[in-house]
C-alpha cells in the first residue's frame, strides 16, 4: 500500500468512541498517544493481515500484543472454538477442556507441575505473588525497573511501556501501602540483587521477573544474570517467579525457562495459551500450588476461569505449535528479517534486537539491557518510523517501547517485504 490511504471511517469511529470510553479505548497504548494520529479501527484479521474499516490492509506485526503466534483465524483454532461453543459458553463447573490444556502446558514446561487458569496475565501474576507470600510467610517482593506484570496495585511500580509511554512512574490511585512491599531493582545488575538480599533476604517472598523483558523494548538479559537470581533466591528461601506472559510458548514450547535452562518456582502465562481468547495461568512446584484454596489457605477464584472456548483455543494453538514446528520456522523467518534490517538499522544509528519471533527497533547504538540505558530521545524517534510503516501497509505497535512479533501466518515474501520496508523507513528517518 502506498500514497495516503483514507482513514476516514476509523477517524469517525474514534470520535464516537471518545465520547464513551476514556481516550476511546479499553487499554491505554491502543490510543496512539505516543505516535500521534488516531488509532485504526480494525474490521477483521485474516492470517498475517489486518484490515481496517476503510479497507486498508496491513501486515500485522503486533499480533494483538503477543497471543496471535499463529496469525488471525487459524482454521484449527477456529474449528476448536466453534466445537466448544456448540456445547455451551461457560459452565462454572469442571470440564474436560481444562485438563487438556493443563496437560499440554505441564508437558511443555518442566517447572509447571500443577497450574491454575485465570482470565488474564494480570490475574495470573497477582495470584502468583499472593501465593508466594502465602507460601513463604514473607511480604516483600522484588521486581525490576521496566518489567511489566499487569496492573495489580503492588506491581504498578516502574512498570515499563504503557507507563513509561505516559511518563507515569507509578499510577495514581495506588495507596502507598500497596506498593510499600515492592522493591525495585535495575535489570542486569547482579551486585544490586546480592546487596538487597544481604540486607533484606529474610523478608523477601519472591523475585518476579520477565525473563525476556519485553515491555520496555526488548532488554535481553545474560543467562548468567538469570542464574544469579535463581541462586540468590534459593539461598535465601525466596521464590523465583518467571513472568512468561509474553515469552511463554513464544520463544519455544518451554518458554524462557527452557531457553535459559533455569527452573523457576512459579511461572505465569497468558496471551498464547489462550490462542486469542482471554486466558492466563500460573503454575509451578506442586507443594506451592497445593497451598491454594480449597487445598490450602491462599484464596483465589474466577467465574469464567477455565472457560471452555478459551481452553479449546489454547489447546488447539499449542497443538499446532508442536505439530507444525512453528518455533523453528519463526526463528528462520526472524533470522531472514534480521539479515536485512540489522545492517540498515546500524547504518542509521539504530539497533535491531531480536529473540526468535520477537523484535525491537530502537534508535540508539547498541542493545540496552536495563531501563535506564534506554534513551528517551530514541523512543521519540519511533513516531515517524511508525507513521512511515503504517503508510506502507505495516502495522507496528503504536509505541517505541513496544516489541513487534512475527507470526506463523507470515511467509517468506511477507518477511522480505517487511525487511525492505523497515530498511527504507530507517534510511528515510536518517535522511529526515
| CA gap 24, 108 in Å, rounded | 39
List % helix, strand, coil for the chain (3-state, nearest 5). 45, 15, 40
CA pair distance 397, 35, nearest whole angstrom: 10
What DSSP character marks residue 5?
A: -
How far is Cα 316 from Cα 74, in angstroms, rounded to an integer?
Answer: 9
193 contacts 232 by C-beta, under 8 angstroms: yes
- Between residues 214 and 390, which has the closer beta carbon with respect to ligand PMP? 214
Minimum distance from CB of 255 to ligand PMP (Å)? 11
Run of H or E residues at 347: helix 326-347
Give least dist CB 108 to ligand PMP, A.
Answer: 18
Which residue lies nearer to ligand PMP by CB, 120 or 170?
Answer: 120
> Which residues of the shown chain bind ligand PMP in the complex (CB under 6 A)?
65, 120-122, 125, 148-150, 210, 215, 243, 245-246, 270, 280
User: Minimum distance between the CB of residue 199 and ligand PMP, rounded to whole angstroms?
Assistant: 27
Q: In the complex with ligand PMP, which residue's Cβ is closer, 215 or 317?
A: 215
d(CA 270, CA 228): 26
Nearer to ligand PMP by Cβ, of 120 and 307: the residue is 120
In the bound complex, what is the minimum distance in angstroms from residue 291's beta carbon to ligand PMP? Answer: 22
- Tell me if 188 sits within 8 A of 175, measured CB to CB: no
Q: Which is nearer to ligand PMP, 10 or 120 (CB)?
A: 120
Phi, psi of 248 (to 5 degrees): -60, 125
The residue among 49 and 271 lying less far from ligand PMP, judged by its C-beta, is: 271
Q: Which is nearer to ligand PMP, 145 or 348 (CB)?
A: 145
Rounded (10°) CA dihedral 71, 76, 77, 83: 160
Q: Which residue is nearest to ligand PMP, using beta carbons? A: 121
Calpha distance 349→174 (Å, rounded): 39
Q: Tell me the closest approach of the beta carbon of residue 14 to ligand PMP, in angstroms.
A: 22
**Helix or strand holding residue 308 (H, E):** helix 308-323
CB of 155 to ligand PMP, least distance (A): 8
Quick check: helix, strand or coil at residue 427? helix
Active site residues: 148, 243, 271
Nearest to 284 by CA among 332, 244, 311: 244
At 406, is the secondary structure helix, strand, or coil?
A: coil
State the nearest-atom distance from the C-beta of 42 to ligand PMP, in Å.
18
Task: Please list, in sequence order, all residues whose beta carbon lies within 8 angstroms of the beta carbon of residue 276, skipping any fewer than 6 positions away.
Answer: 64, 67, 68, 77, 313, 317
Amino acid at each position: 500500500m502506498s500514497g495516503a490511504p483514507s482513514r476516514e471511517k476509523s477517524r469517525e469511529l474514534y470520535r464516537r468512541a471518545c465520547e464513551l470510553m476514556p481516550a476511546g479505548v479499553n487499554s491505554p497504548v491502543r490510543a496512539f498517544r505516543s505516535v500521534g494520529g488516531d488509532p485504526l479501527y480494525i474490521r477483521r484479521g485474516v492470517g498475517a493481515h489486518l484490515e481496517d474499516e476503510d479497507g486498508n490492509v496491513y501486515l500485522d506485526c503486533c499480533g494483538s500484543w503477543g497471543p496471535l503466534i499463529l496469525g488471525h483465524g487459524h482454521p484449527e483454532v477456529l474449528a476448536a472454538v466453534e466445537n466448544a461453543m456448540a456445547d455451551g459458553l461457560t459452565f462454572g463447573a469442571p470440564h474436560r477442556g481444562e485438563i487438556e490444556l493443563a496437560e499440554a502446558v505441564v508437558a511443555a514446561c518442566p517447572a509447571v507441575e500443577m497450574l491454575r487458569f485465570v482470565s488474564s496475565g494480570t490475574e495470573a501474576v497477582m495470584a502468583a505473588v499472593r501465593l508466594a507470600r502465602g507460601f513463604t510467610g514473607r511480604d516483600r517482593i522484588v521486581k525490576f525497573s521496566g518489567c511489566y506484570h499487569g496492573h495489580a496495585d503492588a506491581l504498578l511500580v516502574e512498570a515499563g511501556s504503557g507507563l513509561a509511554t505516559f511518563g507515569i512512574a507509578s499510577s495514581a490511585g495506588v495507596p502507598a501501602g500497596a506498593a510499600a512491599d515492592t522493591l525495585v531493582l535495575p535489570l542486569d545488575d547482579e551486585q544490586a540483587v546480592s546487596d538487597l538480599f544481604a540486607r533484606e533476604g529474610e523478608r523477601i517472598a519472591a523475585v518476579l521477573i520477565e525473563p525476556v523483558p519485553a515491555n520496555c523494548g526488548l532488554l535481553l538479559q545474560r543467562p548468567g544474570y538469570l542464574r544469579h537470581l535463581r541462586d540468590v533466591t534459593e539461598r535465601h528461601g525466596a521464590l523465583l517467579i518467571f513472568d512468561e506472559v509474553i515469552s511463554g510458548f513464544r520463544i519455544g514450547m518451554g518458554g524462557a525457562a527452557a531457553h535459559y535452562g533455569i527452573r523457576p518456582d512459579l511461572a505465569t502465562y497468558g496471551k498464547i495459551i489462550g490462542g486469542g481468547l482471554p486466558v492466563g495461568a500460573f503454575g509451578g512446584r506442586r507443594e506451592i500450588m497445593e497451598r491454594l484454596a480449597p487445598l490450602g489457605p491462599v484464596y483465589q477464584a474466577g467465574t469464567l476461569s477455565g472457560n471452555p472456548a478459551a481452553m479449546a483455543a489454547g489447546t488447539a494453538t499449542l497443538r499446532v505449535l508442536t505439530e507444525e514446528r512453528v518455533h523453528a520456522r519463526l526463528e528462520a523467518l526472524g533470522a531472514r528479517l534480521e539479515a536485512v534490517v540489522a545492517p540498515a538499522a546500524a547504518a542509521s544509528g539504530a539497533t535491531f534486537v531480536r529473540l526468535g519471533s520477537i523484535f525491537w527497533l530502537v534508535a540508539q547504538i547498541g542493545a540496552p539491557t536495563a531501563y535506564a540505558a534506554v534513551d528517551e530521545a530514541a523512543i521519540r524517534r519511533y513516531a515517524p518510523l511508525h507513521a512511515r510503516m503504517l503508510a506502507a501497509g505495516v502495522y507496528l505497535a503504536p509505541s517505541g517501547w513496544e516489541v513487534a512479533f512475527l507470526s506463523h501466518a507470515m511467509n517468506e515474501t511477507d518477511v522480505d517485504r517487511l525487511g525492505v520496508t523497515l530498511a527504507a523507513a530507517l534510511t528515510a528517518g536518517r535522511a529526515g
